[in-house]
Amino acid sequence: MRELFGQYQLLLTILIFVPFEQIFAARPQKILRRGLLTDMAFLFLNGWLVLVGVTAVLAVATLINQSIMPSAVKPAIGDIPYVVQVLIAILIGDLGVYWTHRVLHAVPAMWHIHAVHHAIEDLDWLAAVHQHPLDLTFMKAGSLFPLVAFGFSTEAVGAYLAIYYWQSWLTHANVRVSYGPLRHVLVSPEFHHWHHSSELEARDKNFAGLFSFYDVLFGSIHLPKGRKPKTFGVDHPMPSGYPALLAYPFKVWASKQKRDDPSAPRRSEVA
Ligand SMILES: [Zn+2]
Ligand SMILES: [Zn+2]
């Protein structure tokens, strides 16, 4: 996790994606766009909060691997050649991302967490970090838990994480790159931009992180040819600024609980 937020890796990411967006821009957008400072806060502070949750999840997964998982499973996975193991790890990891992401959209209480990621209206590579720490923890749990529980090697899990790291920047980047017929197999920036669209036709579509064929398989793909999304964001008000966005799901849950509390004074009684 530390290396994910390592300074050199971040510098390399900036050196790649800033010029990449300038040359292949999908939409005209300034480098110093609105919300940049908030995203810098997400970038530098989120990792520490997520580390706590992910460490706990991985500890449980390791326990399951050591106590519940049949003893034949670990050596069987260990015997798989490294490259094949990485490929299987990516397939399992992304299936986990797909379903965790879909649940975050479908369950109203979970949506309040994930809405923070969808609140961004100026999409670019840095928007990848605009995610509530609880959201990131759920996503990482969904993808890494099965890999650790099955006993995939640290190298294979590390390779999956490295691929996912670069893919996250790329799919959010404000770039226009054609994947041709592979657009229904691999997740492209175009695919994930539709996921962020505020247009009704694109709502709750395109959940995969790496393999768009999962959305084809589970009937949630939205990739109209020759068109691109016009606007991004959500259809309800969202706060701005890192502290307010961190507090957002807790505030919504608290206000809903208050409304559901039969002992709470009704609007007419208060007035
Ligand atoms: Zn989403
Ligand atoms: Zn996104």
pLDDT at 31: 85
Measured in residues, the chain has a length of 271
**Tens of pLDDT along 102-138?**
999 999 999 999 999 999 999 999 999 999 999 999 9
pLDDT at 75: 82
Ligand positioned closest to the Cα atom of 114 = 1
Q: Which two tokens stand for residue 269?
A: 């009684």
Cα(122) to centroid(ligand 2), Å = 12
Ligand positioned closest to the Cα atom of 101 = 1
pLDDT at 269: 39
Cα(67) to centroid(ligand 1), Å = 34
Cα(17) to centroid(ligand 2), Å = 16
Ligand positioned closest to the Cα atom of 103 = 1
Cα(75) to centroid(ligand 1), Å = 36
- Is pLDDT larger for residue 33 or for residue 270? 33
Cα(181) to centroid(ligand 1), Å = 24
Cα(82) to centroid(ligand 2), Å = 30
**Tens of pLDDT along 196-213?**
999 999 999 999 999 999
Cα(251) to centroid(ligand 2), Å = 23
Question: For the whole model, what pTM was predicted?
Answer: 0.90
pLDDT at 205: 97
Ligand positioned closest to the Cα atom of 102 = 1
Provide the mean pLDDT of the chain.
90
Domain layout of the chain by residue ranges: 29-252+263-269
pLDDT at 33: 86
> Cβ-count burial of 70 within 10 angstroms (0-12 exposed, 13-18 middle, 19+ buried)?
exposed
pLDDT at 220: 97
Q: Give the pLDDT band (50/70/90) at residue 65.
A: confident
Cα(202) to centroid(ligand 1), Å = 11
Cα(115) to centroid(ligand 1), Å = 8
Mean pLDDT over 44-66 rounds to 88
When mean pLDDT is compared across 29-38, 131-140, 217-226, the lowest value belongs to 29-38
**Tens of pLDDT along 254-270?**
988 878 776 655 444 33
**Contact partners, residue 23, CB within 8 Å, separation at least 6:** none
